Amino acid sequence: MSDLSDEILWSSLKEGNLKSFSILFKKFYPLLYNYGLKISKDEAITEDALQDFFIYVYEHKENLSDLKSIAPYLFSSFRRFIIKKINKNKKYSFLRNLDSNIIDINFTPEELITHQESITFRNKNLIKLINQLPKRQKEVIYLKFNCNFGAKEIAETMEINYQSVINTLHKAIKYLREEIAIIQLLNS
């Protein structure tokens, strides 16, 4: 069930499926926690706010909008939620009156190094995976991403029909996404 699309997962949550809620919680808790920590700069505030936020989401599940992508909704909602909690709570007066439009996020050197290492690792694996593609898929990928050609331009260049370009591009990207996901799973 954890490999469901965001749209299906969200719909299932709205219907009260606890398994969907659990998957959503496990998938987004660490990401939202790190984001909240950047906003509040306090672990206790962030954890309290995040737990309250997930309880709020579950309690109001029937009123949630339909979504195709969950992350943007959760991040923007949690951002508003934690800022409101900070501004409302008197014991956190040192953080009060946060402007919801301007949040000062500070990066640690470890985050930047880890992010750069992650990008380097992904790029090395991506190059290897692209080179394993069939010739036609490699050419379509090259024209699409290196030359910024649209499907029509690729079709003209390769002298194949438009739908073949779309299908070939789709197959190549699907393969790359699946292989990268496997690599990430193995390395996490």
Asked if residue 113 has pLDDT above 50, the reply is yes
C-alpha distance from residue 1 to each of 5, 24, 96 (Å) = 9, 11, 40
Q: Report, at the CATH architecture level, how domain 109-187 is classified.
A: Orthogonal Bundle (1.10)
pLDDT beyond 90 at 121: no
- Contact between residue 7 and residue 65 where contact means Cβ atoms under 8 Å apart: no
pTM across the whole model:
0.52
Using a pLDDT cut of 90, give the percent of the chain over it: 21
d(CA 71, CA 28): 8
Is there a contact between 67 and 73 (Cβ–Cβ < 8 Å)? Answer: yes
**Orientation of helix 151-158 relative to helix 135-145, angle to 10°:** 130
Kindly report, residue by residue over 54-100, the tens digit of the pLDDT: 999 999 988 888 887 788 888 888 888 988 888 887 555 554 455 54
Do residues 78 and 50 make contact, with C-beta atoms less than 8 angstroms apart?
Answer: yes
CA angle 24, 28, 29 (to 5 degrees): 105
6-95 to CATH, choices 1.10.1740.10, 1.10.260.40, 3.40.47.10, 1.10.630.10: 1.10.1740.10
Numbered ranges of CATH 1.10.10.10 in the chain: 109-187
Q: Share the mean pLDDT of the chain.
A: 80
User: Using one digit for the tens of pLDDT, what is the confidence trace for 15-51?
Assistant: 988 999 999 999 899 888 988 887 888 888 899 999 9
Residue 141 pLDDT grade (very low, low, confident, very high; cuts 50, 70, 90): confident
- Which of the pair, 139 or 108, is modelled with greater confidence? 139
Whole-number percent of the chain with pLDDT over 70: 78
> Cα separation of 151 and 161, whole Å?
9
Give the Å distances, CA to CA, from 109 to 6, 40, 117, 123: 32, 19, 12, 21
Residues of the chain with CATH 1.10.1740.10: 6-95
